[in-house]
A and B are shown apart, each in its own frame.
Chain A
């Protein structure tokens, strides 16, 4: 994207970014000065602890819980854990004993502390070596097999609940033209305070995100990538109570994109705001290290709020997501900022409005792989009309140069997509991409035309809202229902009991390593 399509007010753009940075800073400070149980468990996962007890509770939870009870998490659990490890052959055996109540944890001092620190750094370092190796392998595979020949990349969802059923569906979808496969998660996983373990065959409206499911699907898609001659990217979700752990698992198992929104868990899952912001920062640092493209969730606001009235809240959220992501070390090329085609089709000139909003996002974030999300709110069950709407959605995506296009299903709001629904939807995408290839080149909305004016108007509203957020504080703005009309106070929501303010002697080798390498370390 070299020539700007819209004459946006440059001063306004600069002001928007300044305000976003100001609004984000107190939350960044909060994230840097707190830890959570999930950050600490992610550290154990990086150190190589896997497996679960007979009830399916992961050993990282059992071990972290035992330490939390004895020393708390405010010092970080790495020192107590790796100090105790001197009497055990490995972390798993330590976790077994700790779960049985047979381990006393303490904060070691002096030489013992130094030894524990060395053990912890070596173990966690091995986890980062795995992440770095996965990233290098991705780079090599993309170089060898190749990227999709076109933009936008075609993003398709599979969700059967059974990983062994998902695999052939994902492979079939890739062969039918999908460039990115997202395995949607089981409903409710975001509210589990642990990551299920192993390959799973039962889920509700989706498949559990587990390390083993990640590994199985990635291996299957590697096979398919070679067959179809393009590297098929794999997406999952780092939202919910376990963002840091899922990010670690994703990095080690070479996922390529992760849903990771700064506020989604707060607004749509009623997760405590502080828990979310702390978890989010760590998880994004891990994504940055792993070279994973994050996908943010602005589309969700428009499913609850009106897409015209609330258009500027999408822009505000994109700017905040950008700011938080940059701070966590994610470069522009890993910022899959989201937005959606959700204006009521009964609104006059709705398509022009969509084009204005989509171009605004495109131009505000020229180097970000924007994720363009299809209509869901105004899909009625009339599958014929739905297919037409999806066609217009595809057209808007091509005309405005979107980067990642989530394929809309005309059976949205009716059933989870059937094989034939996917085929028809992909046919729709292929037709529009082929018929309108290069159309963006010819599409230059005039200055002071409807589209340019609308885009500047939304940007102006976004700047106003950011100004109010700076005055009130982001946490208060969230509490007041600024985004997606959900009101979420900072002391409410799930997972607050897993948050602690870092003590002066807080030590976490993973956090140290990530903070020391703000641009993601290995290239």
Chain B
């Protein structure tokens, strides 16, 4: 099978994509021409304008179909694959009890002005998400959920007080890249407060994070959309129990 792929409409190799966007111009012939020109510049061959609708007096919404002129080589695609085995809650508990001999302490929070605890609660609350229980359900994990809008210095202090093995931070609000700024501030604060060997594992999660950006943000691991509590628990066991770990510099 070819490792070179194009988008699939209804025939292999047709390259068909569908695209919608708004231009800040009133709807007329010129606006439609502008939409097609944009599509061509985006790499769509033989673009068809299938829908154009005015929004108010000075904007127009378009739907365009066309064949992408671009190719993707699957061998050149880089992703963060899960580099640790996925464990059940029982396997997590057994591993921690038998190999570590003490509970793992996890401190979680939403930092900065982010008040959306839905992410951290999904991972930590016993209620969990989509039928899977959160980390509070794991007998060998001790969970301290600090909730929303925790100031970074408070998080650092609390992590030290609790003897945290891992700090989980959730960031949902992404306006003006707040999630990136907050994460960098958090990782810098931990680096400042603790020497590398003493620092808890820093884990951030949120729907708009790029999982490959951990090093750039100074954290050990980033979890993006679709992460389940067991993914996080498995990772913690992998790093804290089975790996002679080295935290992010």
Question: Are B22 and A418 neighbours in the complex by a CB distance under 8 Å?
Answer: yes
* A419 partner, pick from B55, B118, B176, B225, beta carbons under 8 A: B55
Scan A241-283; emit 1 where CB is below 8 A from any B CB, else 0.
Answer: 0000000000000000000000000001110000000000000
Give chain A residues whose Cβ lies under 8 Å from the Cβ of B115: 187-188, 190-191, 268-269
Shortest distance from the beta carbon of A479 to any chain B beta carbon, whole Å: 15
Docked Cα-Cα span, A188 to B113, in Å, equals: 5
Q: Which residues of A contact B116 (CB under 8 A)?
A: 187
Contact partners of B176 in chain A: CB under 8 A: 204
> Is A229 part of the contact surface with B, judged by Cβ < 8 Å?
no
A424 to B59, CA, bound (A): 13
Instruction: Name the B residues within 8 Å of A350 (CB-CB).
Output: none
**A191 vs B113: C-alpha distance when bound (angstroms):** 9
Contacts of A172 in B (CB 8 A): 56
Residue A501 at the B interface, CB < 8 A?
no
**B55 and chain A: residue at smallest CB distance:** A423
B55 touches A187 (CB 8 A): no
Judge whether A303 is part of the interface by a CB distance below 8 angstroms. yes
| Given A305-B127, A485-B127: A419 and B114 interface contact (C-beta under 8 Å) | no
Q: Is B88 an interface residue (CB 8 A)?
A: no
Contact A381-B118, Cβ < 8 Å, known A204-B178, A205-B175, A419-B55: no
B147 at the interface (CB under 8 A from A): yes
Q: Which of A186, A204, A420 contacts B55 (CB 8 A)?
A: A420
Residues B59-81 near A (CB distance < 8 A): 59, 61
Q: Give A201 to B105 CA distance when docked, in angstroms.
A: 42
Q: Is B25 an interface residue (CB 8 A)?
A: no
How many angstroms between the C-alpha atoms of A381 and B125 in the bound complex? Answer: 23
A216 CB–B CB distance under 8 Å: no
A413 at the interface (CB under 8 A from B): yes
Give Cα A176 to B176, complex, Å. Answer: 28
The reply to whether the CB of A175 lies closer than 8 angstroms to some CB of chain B is yes
CB atoms of A419 and B59 under 8 A apart: yes
User: Does B121 lie within 8 Å of A304, measured CB to CB?
Assistant: yes
Q: A423-B55, A423-B61 are in contact. Are A416 and B175 (CB under 8 A)?
A: yes
Which residue on B lies nearest to A190, using beta carbons?
A: B115
Q: A187-B113, A420-B22 are in contact. Are A205 and B173 (CB under 8 A)?
A: yes
Residues of B within 8 A of A416 (CB): 175
B123 at interface by CB-CB < 8 Å:
no
* Tier of interface size on chain B: 20 to 34
Residue B148 at the chain A interface, CB threshold 8 Å: yes
* Beta-carbon nearest neighbor of B126 in chain A: A485
Residues of B close to A485: CB separation below 8 A: 125, 127
Q: How big is chain A's contact interface, by range? A: 20 to 34
List the A side residues contacting B148 at CB < 8 Å: 269-270
B175 to A381, Cβ gap below 8 A? no
How far does the Cβ of A41 sit from chain B's closest Cβ, in whole Å?
A: 22
A270/B147 in contact, CB under 8 A: yes
Contacting residues of chain A (146-197) with chain B, CB-CB under 8 angstroms: 161, 172, 175-176, 186-188, 190-191
Interface centre among B113, B127, B175, B207 (most CB of A within 10 A): B175
Complex CA–CA separation, A81 to B149 (angstroms): 34
Interface of A is mostly: loop
- CB closest residue in chain B, given A376: B118
Chain B nearest CB, measured from A154 CB (Å): 16
Q: For the complex, is B20 an interface residue (Cβ under 8 Å from A)?
A: yes
Contacts of A191 in B (CB 8 A): 115, 149
Q: Across the interface, which residues of B come within 8 angstroms of A381, CB to CB?
A: 207, 225
CA distance A413 to B117 in the complex (A): 14
Q: Shortest distance in angstroms between B65's beta carbon and chain A's nearest beta carbon?
A: 15
Q: Once the chains are docked, how many angstroms separate the CA of A413 from the CA of B55? A: 23
Closest to B53 in A: A423
Q: Are A187 and B173 in contact (CB under 8 A)?
A: yes
Name the one of A175, A268, A269 contacting B56, with C-beta atoms under 8 angstroms: A175
List chain B residues, Cβ under 8 A from A270. Answer: 147-148
Contact call B173/A419, Cβ cutoff below 8 A: no
Q: Which residues of B contact A268 (CB under 8 A)?
A: 115, 117
- CB proximity of A69 to chain B, nearest CB, Å: 25
Give A413 to B21 CA distance when docked, in angstroms: 19
Q: State in angstroms the CA–CA spacing of A23 and B187 once bound together.
A: 46
B136 to chain A, nearest CB (A): 11
Contact A188 B149 (CB under 8 A): yes
- In the assembled complex, how far is the CB of residue B89 from the closest CB belonging to chain A, in whole angstroms? 19
The interface bits of chain B over 5-40 (1 if a CB of A lies within 8 angstroms of the residue's CB, else 0) are: 000000000000000111000000000000000000
Docked Cα-Cα span, A270 to B117, in Å, equals 11
Q: How far is the CB of A183 from chain B (nearest CB, A)?
A: 15
> Among B53, B125, B127, B207, which residue has its beta carbon within 8 angstroms of that of A413?
B207
B149 / chain A contacts, CB cutoff of 8 Å: 188, 191
Contact of B175 among A204, A305, A418 (CB under 8 A): A204
Q: Which 10 A-B pairs have the closest CB atoms?
A: A188-B113, A423-B55, A420-B22, A420-B61, A187-B113, A205-B175, A172-B56, A205-B173, A204-B113, A187-B115
Residues of B in contact with A (beta carbons under 8 Å apart): 20-22, 53, 55-56, 59, 61, 113-118, 121, 125, 127, 147-149, 173, 175-176, 178, 207, 225
4 further A-B contacts with Cβ under 8 Å, apart from A381-B207, A419-B55, A420-B22, are A270-B148, A305-B127, A420-B20, A424-B61
Between-chain CB contacts (< 8 Å), 18 pairs: A172-B56, A176-B55, A187-B113, A187-B173, A191-B115, A191-B149, A204-B175, A268-B115, A269-B115, A270-B147, A303-B118, A419-B22, A419-B55, A419-B59, A420-B55, A423-B53, A423-B61, A424-B61
